[in-house]
């Protein structure tokens, strides 16, 4: 059965730091897991992950004690079911534009009585479809809901009433695009929208999460009350490589 260390840290009031990973190579994913991340998000939205890759990535991460999370490509029960049955301990669900859509995501993640996740033996419940294993899965799995459009920001208060959401996660890139400033994540209009989300979520029983490409952004958003952070491995590799080359070419 899965034991979700990231969820346990959040429940203990701690901050958690993870990283998006588009590479479907389990060897690379295992290598990433040696860098003290709490969790790695296997990216099935902007990366090429499908169910088989989620399963091998989850194995690689579990070997090293890092929580495997899947970003699914769409808020569809069948997509979420396959990611979880493959062994993801939670899902990032993109483009969730209303509380009703968030409720649908929660129902896809949770077995009955809370939800509608289809039941069959699978690795996440040790191939034992029972009342105990489904209850344990419901307790351990995480639901991370992306807030990444102007529509979602306008409705942010409604999401707070959806039982079962662990993290309301700001996607600054899509949000900047949605607000008419593609890629300009520091535009005042984008910052204002992100601060509106923080003001609603931080005092609630949900965790505020955000994509933070740099450690400086983690520090800044931790001060604003966020506790769930993700970087992106390509950005980290690119900046380290560029810094190496700048010095090496001198
Ligand atoms: C976004 O910024 O749009 C995200 O989904 C986070 O990577
Ligand atoms: Mg996004």
Q: Which residues place a Cβ less than 5 A from the ion ligand 2?
A: 148, 171, 174
**Mean of pLDDT values over 119-144:** 96
| 12 CA from centroid of ligand 1 (Å) | 26
Q: Is the peptide bond before 113 cis (omega within 30 degrees of 0)?
A: yes
Q: State pLDDT tens for residues 67-124.
A: 999 999 999 999 999 999 999 999 999 999 999 999 999 999 999 999 999 999 999 9
Structure tokens at 79: 């997509």
| 129 CA from centroid of ligand 2 (Å) | 34
pLDDT band at residue 1, thresholds of 50, 70 and 90? confident
Q: In ligand 1, which atom is closest to the CA atom of 173?
A: 2
| 113 CA from centroid of ligand 1 (Å) | 31
Q: Are 243 and 235 in contact (CB under 8 A)?
A: no
| 171 CA from centroid of ligand 1 (Å) | 4
Distance CA 58, CA 8 (A): 18
176 lines ligand 1 (CB under 6 A): no
pLDDT band at residue 245, thresholds of 50, 70 and 90? very high
Q: In ligand 1, which atom is closest to the CA atom of 20?
A: 7
* SS3 category, 244: helix
- The Cα-based distances of 166 to 12, 29, 81, 146 in angstroms read 13, 24, 18, 11
Closest CA to 124 of 146, 103, 104, 139: 139
**Mean of pLDDT values over 11-27:** 98
Nearest bound ligand to CA 183? Answer: 1
Distance CA 6, CA 46 (A): 23
Distance CA 250, CA 82 (A): 49
- pLDDT score recorded for residue 143: 98
Q: Is the pLDDT of residue 132 over 90?
A: yes
The model carries a pTM of 0.97
Q: State pLDDT tens for residues 112-130.
A: 999 999 999 999 999 999 9
Q: Is the pLDDT of residue 234 over 90?
A: yes
- pLDDT score recorded for residue 58: 98
Residue 139, H or E segment = helix 131-140
209 lines ligand 1 (CB under 6 A): no
Q: In ligand 1, which atom is closest to the CA atom of 94?
A: 5
Q: Are 40 and 49 in contact (CB under 8 A)?
A: no
pLDDT band at residue 46, thresholds of 50, 70 and 90? very high
Q: Assign residue 13 a region (left: φ > 0; alpha: ψ between -120 and 50; beta: otherwise).
A: left
**What residues pair up with 143 in beta bridges, in sequence order?**
91
Distance CA 146, CA 155 (A): 13
């Amino acid at each position: 059965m899965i034991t979700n260390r990231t969820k346990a840290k959040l429940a203990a009031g701690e901050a958690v730091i993870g990283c998006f990973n588009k590479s479907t190579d389990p060897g690379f994913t295992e290598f990433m897991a040696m860098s003290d991340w709490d969790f790695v998000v296997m990216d099935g939205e902007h990366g090429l992950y499908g169910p088989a890759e989620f399963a091998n990535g989850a194995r690689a991460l579990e070997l090293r004690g890092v929580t495997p999370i899947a970003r699914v490509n769409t808020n569809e029960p069948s997509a979420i079911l396959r990611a979880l049955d493959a062994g993801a301990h939670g899902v990032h669900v993109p483009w969730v534009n209303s509380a009703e859509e968030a409720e649908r995501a929660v129902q896809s993640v949770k077995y009955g009585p809370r939800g509608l996740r289809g039941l069959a033996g699978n690795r996440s419940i040790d191939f034992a479809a029972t009342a105990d294993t489904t209850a344990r899965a419901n307790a351990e799995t995480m639901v991370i809901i992306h807030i990444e459009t102007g529509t979602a920001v306008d409705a942010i208060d409604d999401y707070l009433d959806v039982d079962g959401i662990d993290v309301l996660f700001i996607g600054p890139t899509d949000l900047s695009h949605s607000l008419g400033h593609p890629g300009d994540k520091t535009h005042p209009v984008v910052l204002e929208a992100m601060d509106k989300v923080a003001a609603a979520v931080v005092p609630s029983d949900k965790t505020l999460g955000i994509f933070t490409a740099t450690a400086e952004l983690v520090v800044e958003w931790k001060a604003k009350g966020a506790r769930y952070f993700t970087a992106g491995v390509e950005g980290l590799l690119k900046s380290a490589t560029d810094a190496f080359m700048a010095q090496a070419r001198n």
